[in-house]
Amino acid sequence: MKHPTVIRPADHAVYAPTKMGKSTLFASPRLLAGLNAFEAGQEHALHAHPGQDKVYLVAEGSGVFLLDDRELPMTAGDLLIAPEGVPHGVRNPGPGRLLLVAVLAPAPAKG
Amino acid sequence: MKHPTVIRPADHAVYAPTKMGKSTLFASPRLLAGLNAFEAGQEHALHAHPGQDKVYLVAEGSGVFLLDDRELPMTAGDLLIAPEGVPHGVRNPGPGRLLLVAVLAPAPAKG
Overall average pLDDT of the B7-13 stretch = 98
Q: Write the pLDDT tens digit of every residue in B27-61.
A: 999 999 999 999 999 999 999 999 999 999 999 99
Overall average pLDDT of the B80-99 stretch = 98
Residue B98 pLDDT > 90:
yes
CA distance A4 to B10: 25
Q: Which residues of A14-23 are buried (b: 16+ CB within 10 A; e: fewer)?
A: eeeeeebbee
Half-sphere exposure of B56 (CA within 13 A, CB side): 29
| Residue B94 amino acid letter | G
CA distance A95 to B53: 36
| Residue A91 amino acid letter | R
> Are the beta carbons of A81 and B52 separated by less than 8 Å?
no
> Are the beta carbons of B80 and A106 separated by less than 8 Å?
no
> Are the beta carbons of B26 and A101 separated by less than 8 Å?
no
> Are the beta carbons of B84 and A59 separated by less than 8 Å?
no
Q: Write the pLDDT tens digit of every residue in B71-88.
A: 999 999 999 999 999 999
Which chain A residues are Cβ-neighbours of B31 within 8 angstroms? Answer: 53, 55, 103, 105
CA distance B21 to B14: 5
Which chain A residues are Cβ-neighbours of B52 within 8 angstroms? Answer: 30
- Three-state SS for A9-25 is HHHHCCCCCCCCEEEEE
CA distance A58 to B7: 11
Which chain A residues are Cβ-neighbours of B74 within 8 angstroms? Answer: 6
Provide the whole-model pTM.
Answer: 0.96
CA distance A99 to A35: 7
Q: Write the pLDDT tens digit of every residue in A47-90.
A: 999 999 999 999 999 999 999 999 999 999 999 999 999 999 99
Cβ proximity of B57 and B111 under 8 Å: no
CA distance A41 to chain B (A): 21
Cβ proximity of B27 and B104 under 8 Å: no
